[in-house]
Every structure is written in structure tokens, then in C-alpha cells.
Structure 1
Amino acid sequence: MVIIAGAGPTGLALACGLRQYGVDVRVVDAADRPATTSRALGVQPRGAEVLYRLGALGDLPDKAIRLDALRLNGVQRLDLRPMAGAGALIASQTWVEARLRDRLSALGVEVEWGTPISEVPVSDDDWLVGCDGAHSAVRKMAGISFDGEAVMENFLLRDVHARWDLDRSSVHIYINDGGLTAIFPLPGDDLWRVMSPDGRWAPGEIDAVDWESTFRIHKRLASTYRRGNVFLAGDAAHIHSPLGGQGMNTGLGDAENLAWKLALVVQGRASEKLLDTYEAERRPIAAAVLGSTTPATRISMGSGRVQRLLRDLVVFPALSLPPVQRLIIGFASQLGVKYSGPLAVGKHGGERMPAFARTGKWVLAGPSTCLEVARDRLGDVVHHERAGDTLLVRPDGHMAWRGPSERFSAWLNEVLGVPETPRLTTRS
């Protein structure tokens, strides 16, 4: 049994992913009911792909707001239209969670609300995954440190109704009196998210406030993602500035990465050493997000005179430069993520394969002689006959292996290892 603490996007995505492989899961959450408000609202192309592969939000691009630009004091500075995939989308975290709960219910599992993980018996044969946020009880129970620092104090979020004459396909940033306010369109009539570190400035009259919250921005990274049979994912493993909308997407990536690896182990197709690749692949992604969003936040918010000068005279003007735009768009989309290690071997090893990005299954491109071996070790495999090198693409759309077909079986045995226990029965 895999026990998941936390029914946010990461925990729900992990549960859906495991259930698609037939693995028994239990999802518990200390809250009495689903959240009705959300801080996260950005879904980048990588996150949209994960949700599509889970069968949860295939219609997301049609339901969300696609951002075309970032505007600074009314002037377009960053063109977001070239972003690949679904583009930069605005969708409420609560809506994403609701759709994931619907998908999980269809897969036979309901969230157990009002159930703290401390009240759940966990045996030595169970796997426990902490997807329970920045104050993770699972992380504390496992004794895993969460080192970092505060980046900014008293950051204010508000969801407001207002009839502003603003383009609803753009993010709007206003700088005035040394302060900065960011405004995002939200799905719904005249609904906006207003973010400001130091006040309640708005570009016009506000008709009503749906919700507001003050919080501190931290950057923190768990010292390890695994301790024995305990794993961390999402905000339980990493937190950072909301700048760039990377939080929910990074958590979704964690969930998908862990799901197919843990499924192979639970099903007895792989040894536990495969699970070491989860941290090896995902922790550097989070570290890179922390390393980029923290200085970008401090400069953008202009907490000091030097930072404001750097922001106003160098950083913001540079946003209009094509090379800078390509760099920002590539990083924000997370489509350029490349893994290294034993599951990223050969030419293009570890790279995302766009042709298979929506498949959601193992894909073998090679002779049929390799297919029986692949299905025995991996389960469901999509096969394409191919001459030359044999290719194996992971369920997350990344190239796992490329090489001569006669080496395929040996590589699979090497990377998956010999299972320590007989195959366990899982529910379909």
C-alpha cells in the first residue's frame, strides 16, 4: 500500500498516477474539506502535459486563460506566445484539484478528509509519501531537514472583482513610488489576482474582494527526498517564490516521476535501487527553480535602491530582447528539462521526446524481439517497429535508452535490478 499525505495537486497527481498502474493507494489529508481558495494559479506546458497523461485535464487549454504577454506599466515587454505546448495558462489550483479528485474517484479512490497522518497506521511494508506542504508532518516525522531562508516578508495576495480596462491575456506589472504590483486575469467575469509586497495599490476601483491573504516568501529545499520507505514531493520537498508560476508544475513533475518508478517496485518489476533515481532526477530541478526565482524576486520587488536601479534600468528593459525572451520562456515552460543517470542513456538520453509527450506509457521503438523483454520488466508497452538502434521512451516522455537491440535486455536488468521480493498483487 502507498499512503499519500496531502490532497493538493502533488498528492492527487501521485495517487492518480499510481492507480493508473493498478497500485493500491490511500490519500489522507488533515483538513476537514477541500480548499476553496488557492495561491497557485499558473500551469506551464510541462504541468499541462502531466495532467493530460493522467487523464485529468485534457481540456485544460480550452478552460484556462492563455497568457500572451507580460506588460510593464501598460507596455508589452515579454511576448509569451512562442511558448511551446499548451502555453502559459492561468487556472485556479482549486479547480485543478477538483478535476484531479474526479479522476481519482473514477480510479476507485476517495480522499479521506480530517485524517492527520499521525493517526494513520503505517506498517513496514507500506510506502509513505509526504505531499503535505511546506509544514509537512511527514517530513518532520522522518527527521528530514528543510534548510533555507525568508526571501520577502508580508506578501499580499487578493482575488478581486474589478472592471479595469486591461488586456485579459496579459500579466500586468506596475511600478510606482518604488513599489511593485502584479495583476493576473483569473477565469471568471472581471476577476483578477493582485499581488503586492507592500500595499493595496490597484489600477482602478475594486468592486469586491473575494479573498485575500498575507504570507512570507521562503526558499527552502529538503536535505533528502527519501528516508527508507518515506518520500517527499511538492511543497513538502521544496518551496520558493511564486514568480514564474513554477511551484505547482514542479510538484506535478515530482509526482509523475515518483509514480511510475514506485509502481515498478511495488509490482515487483524492479528493485528498490530504482527509487534512488527519484531524488537524483528531481532535486536538481527544484534547486534550479530556487536558484533562479529567488534573485529574480529580490530584484523585481526592488527592496533596495541598488536593486531598484538594476531592475528599472537593466532587467526590465532586457525583457524585450529576443535572446532573453527565449531564455525565460524555455525555463518557465520546463519543457527543456533533461535528466541524466541510468535512465537517460545514449543519444538524446534524458531529453523530452515531443512525439511521445502525450502517450503516458512506455514506448519501445525497435525490433519485436525486444518487446517481450520490455513487457515482462515494464508492463504495458507501446511498440513501434524500427530498424537500427532500439529506443525506449519513459512514461513521462523522456528518452530512457538508445542503443543496439542486443544490449537492451542487459541494460534493463542493470537499471531495474533484481526485485528483492516476489511480485505483489495490485488492484486493476
Structure 2
Amino acid sequence: MDPVIVVGAGPVGLTLALALARQEVPSVVLDEGPGKDEPRPARTAVLREDTAALLSRLTGVALGDHGATWTGWRSLRRKQVTSEITFEEDEPAPLHIAQHVLTGALRAAAADDPLVRIAVDSRLDAIEQERSAITAHTRGPSGTWWRGSYLVGCDGPRSTVRKLQDIRFPGRTAVERHAVAALRTELPWEGRALLHRMPPWRQSGPSAGEVTARPLPDGVWRLDWLLPPGKDLVTPEILVAGIRETLTGWTGESAPVYDLLDTGVHTVHHRLARRWRAGRVFLAGDAAHLLGALGTQGLDEGLRDADNLAWKLAPAWHHGHHEALLDSYQAERRAVVSARLRAADQALPVLRGSGGLRSIVPGTARGQELLLVDGHLGRGVLGAPGAYADSPLTPRHLEGEIAVETPPGAAVTDVRVTAEDGSFVRLRDRLGRGALLVVLIAPGTGVWDRRHWMSAGVMPRLAAAVTALPHPAELLVAEEYPGAPAHSVLLVRPDGHLVTALSGVRPADLYAAAEATVGGPGKEEEAEAAEAGSGARRP
């Protein structure tokens, strides 16, 4: 079987390649550059805690050691603190990391993986689809044709893959602009991110309406100033004046000491590709969507694209093309990103004071504050991870289905579980291996030796039901799960989203839910069923 061709060696493309390798699917990553990333301290990413955990699993590197996990958040309006949040030690908190550091960790992991091949100086210029394969041509020092099973465009906003497939990319241009600076200095709130609206010193520089400070390791901060509408040039002199003005306002010192590392202007666009799939071609990351206003993080969503697509390409690669499962990638991910874009577009007129919804939706300062905080911290309508409640993979009419705190389609809570070998692990550690996870909630099992309960009670019947599922599955046991009664059974997708919760061991419901989750019978199962049917009709 030919490898999956991944176009683009940024964080999304490398994450996809590593996620496929974890499920024993080979890939070729076409990198148009020389294979090295220029350090840009002002180009950073804010990742939700579970997204950072995904990358740590794939790279084998604790990304928290290379980025800054926020200890808290503070919001100010003029001189007044409007909200302050402290993240406890065991509470999920955003991770802020330089993008070149993140890409470097992914590149190193890919270089060590025999199933990942990175082809540098390889710029895509042609794609040809066949019924059972796809070929891509690259130009460069070693221009050639590459043959693959599928091709995924992770090649950014100006995606060549998207253009070659003639996929429209409508949306809004220059929704917002921010002046950006990375600098090393001391600020009064170590480890805490800050959003300051309408700072009282607004006299010069780019800091007229809003400035954000996000910590990085080694005393480095990324500062973002919201620029007024228009295309006025941000000169170095203007930016330096804004830095001095802002630091003076925060520290009270007339000449604060700082070391300027990097600067830039970040322009936010809102765009959404009409299609994310064209036959054997898929789009992911910035090639499929652009978002970033109000604190939302486009890279985080792109990494979730890769996680979602990898576990769907893997069974198609191993067992044959499966239309329903592959189609569900666009149905799920495009709906989630579309909802976030819609929420941001609706909130912008209220938050930026440009009328619009202000006359329809009363917007108080407190409500605006909550919207902004949610966007920056990955919560609420502007920032929370999307759920796939309306997914075409959602099972229907399960008699034994019950409600737990995690709704169907949402990401599961990371609880401690007992694996099949008797070891204690986190539920999240078992994700991304291509298998469904079946979790029995059995209070008290954590204090008993595994050999005493594996052959007792409902375990033999549940183990038999798991073995009979139409897709590889792993049986886990948890002492508790939020909102789940004793002896309930959870079915979890390989990307960590809940399929269903059942009241007890119900083999028929479990089988039906598993089959729906993988898109119904695949080619192999359909062929076996057809053969069995024809055999039954033979004289």
C-alpha cells in the first residue's frame, strides 16, 4: 500500500504524519523548504491543555518544559482589575510556546520514526487522482512524481493543494491587525497572562485600545497591540514607542529595562474552505480555515484537524477505502470551525464598539469581558473545543444509553484507568492508537489485584463483547468517571471523543455504537457479508 502524502512540514503536517505512524501508516511529508525553521520568538502558539498533551504523546517530549504553562490570567480595564483567575496545579491551563520550538520537536520525532519520510526542497506543482491511488509532482533539485494512497494539504493559507483542486476559500480579509513584539523583561505578574483594555496611558504608539501580554520561558513575553482599522504602516519607531509606553504604564518605571528579540505585524483573516475533501485529497489547518480574532488559536484547531483525520485515514489505509468514515472528517471538523468563526464574527461588532449587534444583543462590559477571557483561555463559544454531537458517525436508537457529564461527541475527561496488563495509566495515554476504548466504571477495582476481578462479575461478558466488536478495541477499567454510575460502560473514539455511555454490559448496543463510529460496514465487512449471503443461496 502506498504511503499517505502530506504536503507541508509545519506543525499540522508533522503532527498528522506522526499520528499516522502511531497507527502503523507510512507517510511522505513534502517540505518546500530546506528542513530548518528560522527562530522567530514573536511567532508563537497558545495550545489548550489537551492539545499540548496530544503533541507530547506524539513527540515523547514534555512540551511544558519548552513552553510556559500559564499560572493565571488577569484582565484590566483602564486602571481597574476586572477579573483574575488562578490555575491550580491539577487544573487545565493554556500552554504558550514558540512555534519554531514546537516544529523542532515534531521534526526530531519524525526523523526518528521509520514510517515518516520528509522530502525537503520539494514544492508541489501537480496532483493526479486515480481510482485507487494519487500521484503528486514536485519541483526542486530532485523534482519527481510521488505515488500515494491519499494526499493531505497542510500547506497553509496559500495552499497549493487547495488551488490545484479548485476549492474556493471565501471569508473576510484583515478582520483585525496586531503589532507584535517578543521581549525579555520583568513584569509584575510572573507566569500570568494579561489582557489590558483601554490602558490609561494611551498617548502614542500602537496601544490605543487593547494590549495583551503572554509569558514564555526564560523571562520572555509576547506583547500584542490591537491596531486601529486601516493599513497604516507600523514603523520601528512607533513600535518602540509603544513598548516603552506600555512597560512604563505597567511597571511605573520611567525607563524600563527590556531586550527586544523579535517584532512583526499579525493580520487576522477569517476564511473557510468550501470543501475539505476532494476524492483522495484532504485539507487541514490553515489550508482549510483561518481564524484568530478574540484570542482564538488557529493552530490549535489545525492540530485537532490532524488528530481527527489520522484515525479515519488509518482504517481506510489498512482495510480499504471507506467513504462514510472519510466523509465524516469534513462533516465534523468543518462544522466545529464554522461555529467558532460565526461566534467570533457575531461578537466582534459588540466588543469593538462598531454597532451591529449592539442594538440587538445588549452588551454589558461584564459580558464583553467574559467573551474575551473565554476566547483567550479556550473556553465558551469563542474558545472551547468543539463537540461532534451531530456527526454522521453518531449511533442512533441505543436502548441502554445513559447521560454522563460528558455529552456524546465531546472530549472525555482524563481519568485514571487500569489497562489490560494491570498497569495504572491515564485514559488520555491510550488515545491515538487506532483502537476504540471501552471503559467499564467499577468502583473499588483500584485496590484489588487485577487477577481477582478480571474473571468476576460482568468482566468476562464485557471482554467477550469487546473481542467481537467490528473494529479493534481496548478494554479499560476506571474506578470513577464524572456523572457515570457504577457498572456503566463508556465507548470512546481513538481521538478521545465520547461515543456513548451505556447502563451496564449491553453487547448489542456496544456493537451497534462501534459500527456506527467507524462509519458502518467497510469494504471488507461488506464483501464478507455478500459472500456469506451468496453462499447461503447456493444449492
Match of 2:45 among 41, 46, 49: 41
Give the paired residue count. Answer: 416
How far does the alpha carbon of each residue in 1:253-290 deviate from its partner, in whole angstroms, 9 at most, with x for none? 11000001100100116723211111111111111221
CA contact 2:72–2:191 (8 Å) conserved in 1: no
1:101 aligns to what?
A: 107
Distance 2:224 2:410 in 1: 36
Tell me if the contact between 2:181 and 2:223 (Cα under 8 Å) persists in the aligned partners.
Answer: yes
Q: Which residue of 189, 201, 223 corresponds with 1:193?
A: 223
The answer to whether 1:352 aligns with 2:411 is yes
Q: Does the C-alpha gap of structure 1 residues 422 and 328 become closer, same or farther in structure 2, counting only changes over 3 Å?
A: closer
Q: Are 1:76 and 2:106 matched, yes or no?
A: no
Residue of structure 1 in register with 2:307 after alignment? 256
Deviation at 1:225, TM superposition (A): 0.7
Aligned counterparts of 2:305 and 2:291: Cα–Cα separation in 1: 15
Which protein shows a greater Rg?
Answer: 2
User: What residue identity is the alignment partner of 2:105?
Assistant: R
Residue 426 of structure 1 corresponds to none
Contact 2:351/2:368 (<8 A) preserved: no
User: Offset at 1:64?
Assistant: 1.9
Partner of 2:499 in structure 1?
Answer: 400
After the TM superposition, which of the residue ranges 2-11 and 400-409 deviates more from structure 2?
400-409
Distance 1:380 1:12, change over 3 A: farther
Q: Is the 8 A contact 2:9 2:30 kept in 1?
A: yes
Q: 1:341 to 1:55 in 2, by over 3 A?
A: same
| Greater Cα offset, 74-83 or 282-291 | 74-83
Work out whether residues 343 and 381 of structure 2, in 8 Å CA contact, stay in contact via their aligned partners in 1. Answer: no
- Mean alpha-carbon deviation: is it higher for 163-172 or for 383-392? 383-392
> Taking structure 2 as the reference length, what is the TM-score of the superposition?
0.67
**Structure 2 matches for 1:416-427, cutoff 5 A?**
416-419=520-523
Query: Shift of residue 388 of structure 1?
Result: 6.5
- Deviation for aligned residue 1:328: 7.1
Shift of 1:235: 0.8
Structure 1 residues 157 and 113: alpha-carbon distance in aligned structure 2, compared to 1, 3 A threshold: farther
Q: What is the rounded CA distance, in whole Å, between the counterparts of 1:39 and 1:139 in structure 2? A: 24
Q: Aligned AA for 2:82? A: R
Give secondary structure in 2 for the equivalent of 1:378.
Answer: coil
User: Residues of 2 paired with 1:422 and 1:105: CA distance?
Assistant: 38
RMSD value over aligned CA atoms? 3.6
In structure 2, what is the equivalent of residue 271 of structure 1? 322
Identity of matched residues, %: 26
Deviations 1:44-85 (A, max 9, x none): 124223224435444527842315113224543334436985
- Give the Cα–Cα distance (whole angstroms) in 2 for the partners of residues 297 and 160 of structure 1: 29
1:381 aligns with 2:474: yes
Any stretches of 5+ residues in structure 2 without a counterpart? 126-136, 139-143, 229-237, 248-255, 396-400, 416-426, 441-461, 480-485, 528-539
The within-5 A match list for 1:22-421 is 22-32=24-34, 33-37=36-40, 39-60=43-64, 63-72=67-76, 73=78, 75-81=80-86, 86-108=92-114, 109-118=116-125, 119-120=137-138, 126-152=149-175, 154-175=177-198, 176=202, 178-198=208-228, 200=239, 201-202=242-243, 203-204=246-247, 205=256, 207-268=258-319, 271-297=322-348, 299-301=350-352, 304=354, 314-318=363-367, 329-331=379-381, 334-335=384-385, 337-345=387-395, 346-347=401-402, 348-354=407-413, 355=415, 356-360=427-431, 361=433, 362-365=436-439, 367-374=462-469, 377-379=470-472, 381-384=474-477, 391-402=490-501, 404-413=506-515, 415-419=519-523
Which structure has the higher relative contact order (CA within 8 Å, separation 6+)? 1
Q: Which runs of 5+ in 1 are unaligned?
A: 424-428
Deviation at 1:39, TM superposition (A): 3.1
Match of 2:19 in 1: 17
Alpha carbons 2:211, 2:225 under 8 Å: kept: yes
Is the 1:46–1:249 Cα contact (8 Å) retained in structure 2?
no
CA contact (8 A) 1:67 1:87 kept: yes
Preserved CA contact (<8 Å) 1:18 1:259? yes
Paired residue type of 1:143: D
Q: 1:30 to 1:53 in 2, by over 3 A?
A: same
8 A contact 1:151–1:294 mirrored in 2: no
Between the aligned partners of 1:338 and 1:67, the Cα distance in structure 2 is: 30
Residues 90 and 153 of structure 1: CA distance in aligned 2, closer, same or farther (over 3 Å):
closer
Asked whether the 8 Å contact 1:155–1:215 carries over to 2, the reply is yes
| Distance change in 2, residues 1:125/1:300 (3 Å) | same
Normalised by the size of structure 1, how large is the TM-score? 0.83
